[in-house]
Chains A and B, each alone.
Chain A
Amino acid sequence: MKMKIKKFFLILSIVVLLTGCAEERVLEDLGIITTAGFDKGEDGPEVFGTFITYKFSQQLSNVNSPIHSSGRTAQDAFHLAFAKTAKKLVTGQLRAVVYGPDLAKEGIWPHLDTLQRNQFVSDLVYITVSEMPSREVLNAQVFEEAPNVGIYIYRLLDQVIGKEEIVDSSLHEFIKNYLKVGVDPITPVLSIEEDRVIVTGLGLFQDDRFIDTIDLHEAFYVRLILDEFKAGELQIELPTENYRQFMEDFEPSPEEETFEITMQQIKSASQISPKDSGKYHFSIKIRFEGDIRELTKELDLESKEVIHMLEKDMAKKIEENISKLLEKTQELNVDSLGFGTFWNAKFKGDKKLTEEEWRKEYPNFQFDIDVTTEILRNGITQ
């Protein structure tokens, strides 16, 4: 027994010493890529890659110096970048990937697939599309306190998604939506303004091809249908005409035909249920409640009548906006909201939509939109 234990420790230490150790990835020797951008190269099938890495030196941390390289695929471009830096490039801390518009319009799946297959890449990487070539976006010089522009983009997206302005767009979500029949992926769209990166809206994809952008106002309705709001914010235009009698200043300037109402602390719930009536028919029910935060016209909010009217008008307005959005997606033939999956989850057998049928039929889908709104509080002033 005693000898065995000794023998055991002997063998153990010999094994450790003989085999040395697994391959090391010591932190400071790594060129840790935080954000990668991919564009279409100048000639033919080339991919032009831009990589932002960490710099572990306080003097250098405010200078943005991306690494550029080009190759036949995204993986190739990444691989060929090894000769352009003294550090070992690794992708384990990748936070966001930006695809240039040219590349995105041709389809990004071939470039995404390598990310998915690479076990070191997190599934939480943000997939984004840029309005201009991604190398320009990643060349932004203003990135606040972030150590580099890559981390800035990551924090920006984190903040925007956290504020419930746009839907989540991680690698996992993108792949899931791409591979599922009946839904198309959505990503945020990045742009550059006064040398800083901004989010301008949502990019609608057909399969893996970037089709069009919707702005942040419309993006609100995408969220409204897809997700629950816990604390959202919305601004709506309402016609002045109906409220003339309740306005406290009786002489409104005639040129203002509409006024703005801003809702905050929005809580919402949506329900999409497909109906089989010979056609592809969907009813969308949305419950929507929140507080009034801002009114551009003074209204007598103590009267119940006004509140009722506001609720009704807002509901109508939201319904209008949603149907506008849905019409737009039908024109583009992108089912970003995934009505196809709702259909397929309800019906089996022959009624199920195959990928081709869904693509063909989506423009003919019919929607009943029913929104109920409720105003909970009027804010802190009367």
Chain B
Amino acid sequence: MKRKSTKKKQQSLFPSSLEVVEEDLNEKALNSSPDFTMKIIETESGQRIGFYFLYSIIKPQVLYEQIISPVQKAKKTLDIQSIDNMIALPNSKEENKLDEIGKKLLQGAVCIYIENDQTCLMHSAPLQEHRSIDRAETESLIFGPQMAFTGSIETNLNMVRNMIDTPQLKIERFILGNKIPNEIQMMYMDDIANEENINELRNRLTSLQSEDIMNASVLSQKIEDNPYSFFPQYIVTELPDRFTYSIKEGKIGILVDNSSAGIIAPITFSSFFESTDDIYGRWIIGSFTRLMRMFAMILSITLTPLYVAALTFHYEVIPEALLLSLGESRNRVPFPPLMETIILETMMEFIREAGARLPTKVGQTMGIVGGIVIGQAVVQAGFTSNILIILVALSALASFTTPDYVMGTSLRILRFPIILLAGTFGFVGIFFTVAFIIIHLLRLRSLHRPYTAPIYPFRFFDFDQSQVRVPFVLNKRRAASHLPKKTKRKKKTYGHSLFKTKGKDIDE
């Protein structure tokens, strides 16, 4: 009902005088914005032309040089069409509806109106302040291109386009958010990505009922399969090279405006332990680091629980060589091992969180104070045993090897329930939780695709790109876990005869 009444009013907007238009726009469409401005120009032929805009989101240079000055210089009588021809900017549109004009103005458009005309002309000259292309802050690389996505979707798309410059890169555009709309772009390789995945993701995006989309991380959590899970089900990355690599492998990427990260879907558990560095480096380094990260992950969630379980229940398993030093350092500690470990692990989390929240320079001091001073004092005061300090530090270190920060944090927090169960049921508790985690991982899906692939469902030929990395010569197929349309890569041709590595025999 309300809408109808505003529509009636709209029709009475034009034709009218410039001042009336100004008042109507500001009161009804823009909710009295202080930065709403009107600029009136009188041409030689006596026409009064009004320019309406919000000066905070308009590029002044464009406004004056491209829009106002051509109109000012005009000699003959003008109409909407001739003004449009004068202005050399793309994306012009004629509008006569009040709320449409208001919406455009808020996106950085200029409204040009000739007094007493039937419609007005909209030209956009938006000013978007973004940080320039910068180094990635949360994911850092050794070999890769040292740049990260910025807040502007145009710049991000520009980067992606430059990296994948084929027409096969298909981009679909959505405007999401009922209250505050935001632009979202879904992109994939038309000839590789799986149709079902694309449809599924498109459905999820279009059926998403949300007031607003803050950024990529928020969006990724809103379209997850299991929102209650400990584990992230999409990778949110700020590295354009990782983003484009995944797209090239047949996955789907999502860019969100005003967000300096892209979403990759669908993914598997093991892809959280992969970094593009593994691809840039030699295959043996890549394979080694990937296996090492997996090992570090297992270590980081089981090391301190094993300590708690062994010291609380299973003194039998402690080797003779370790028993005395463990006993001696434990002898001064007043708490049971469970308490001791939880205190120290919490302390470790304090240091990490404080380091993350403080400015960089202070953060470094934080590490020194936390790590060295407190660590030293804690042992000397008989608060914890020094072996536990080593174990906690080691498992914290191991958890930081996970390239994905969100996954790393999830795993670190996962340690607490395991410690708790280790402190109540010993090894039985640890293995119970590990079994629970495995079952949970098996249940998880990313875009309806199994999370634990390629281990289960087992695909032997996918291991060359997930758990290890084989030399490119051997890597002839795309990972089949997400059912890409084409699995075979293009056959490699070796141009010059010198590059022929294999003959019938040596030196032939």
Contact = CB atoms under 8 A, between A and B. Distances in A.
Interface string A119-139: 010100000000000000000
Interface string B293-326: 0000000000000000001111110101001101
A25 B328 CA distance: 16
A183 to B, nearest CB: 30
B228 A2 contact: yes
B336 A54 contact: no
A142 B463 CA distance: 58
A86 interface: no
Given A21-B424, A151-B320, A28 B312 contact: no
B411 to A, nearest CB: 19
A234 B313 CA distance: 46
Contact of A21 (B311, B326, B423): B423
A223 interface: no
A30 B425 contact: no
B327 A27 contact: yes
Interface string B408-434: 000000000000110111100000000
A92 B330 CA distance: 18
Contacts of B333: 28
A32 B326 CA distance: 13
A30 B315 contact: yes
B324 A21 contact: no
Contact of B316 (A20, A26, A93, A154): A93
A30 B314 CA distance: 12
Given A21-B424, A93-B323, A26 B312 contact: yes
B324 A147 contact: yes
Contacts of B313: 22, 24-25
A26 B228 contact: no
Nearest to A32: B315
A24 B330 contact: no
B425 A21 contact: yes
A28 B328 CA distance: 8
B403 interface: no
A57 interface: yes
A54 B328 CA distance: 10
Contacts of B425: 21-22
Interface string A34-77: 00000000000000000000101110010000000000000000
A92 B320 contact: no
Given A22-B313, A24-B336, A93-B320, A57 B328 contact: yes
Interface in B308-356: 311-316, 318, 320, 323-324, 326-328, 330-331, 333, 336-337
B324 A93 contact: no
B312 A24 contact: yes
A22 B324 CA distance: 25
Contacts of A95: 320
Contact of B328 (A2, A58, A90, A122): A58
B326 A27 contact: yes
B309 to A, nearest CB: 11
A83 interface: no
B424 A20 contact: yes
Contacts of B420: 16
A56 B318 CA distance: 15
Interface residues of A, number: 27
A214 to B, nearest CB: 29
A58 B330 CA distance: 12
Contacts of B327: 27-28, 32, 54, 56
B320 A27 contact: no
Nearest to B428: A22
Interface in A151-200: 151, 154
Contacts of A16: 420-421, 424
B432 to A, nearest CB: 10
Contacts of A21: 423-425
A150 to B, nearest CB: 10
A22 B422 CA distance: 11
Contacts of B320: 93, 95, 151, 154
B328 A5 contact: no
6 contacts: A21-B423, A24-B312, A26-B312, A27-B323, A28-B333, A58-B328
A92 B228 contact: no
A56 B330 contact: yes
A92 B337 contact: no
B331 A122 contact: no
Given A54-B324, A95-B320, A27 B315 contact: yes
B323 A54 contact: yes
A56 B324 contact: yes
B198 to A, nearest CB: 26
Given A25-B313, A154-B320, 20 more contacts: A2-B228, A5-B228, A20-B424, A22-B424, A25-B315, A26-B311, A27-B323, A27-B327, A27-B330, A28-B333, A30-B315, A32-B315, A32-B323, A54-B327, A57-B331, A92-B316, A93-B315, A93-B323, A95-B320, A151-B320
| Max count, chain A CB within 10 A of own CB: residue among B315, B330, B420 | B315
Contact of A26 (B318, B324, B328, B336): B336
A22 B427 CA distance: 11
A26 B337 contact: yes
B222 to A, nearest CB: 15
A56 B323 CA distance: 9
A231 to B, nearest CB: 24
Contacts of A2: 228
B331 A56 contact: yes
Interface in A91-105: 92-93, 95
A95 B314 CA distance: 16
A221 to B, nearest CB: 32
B341 to A, nearest CB: 13
A20 B421 CA distance: 11
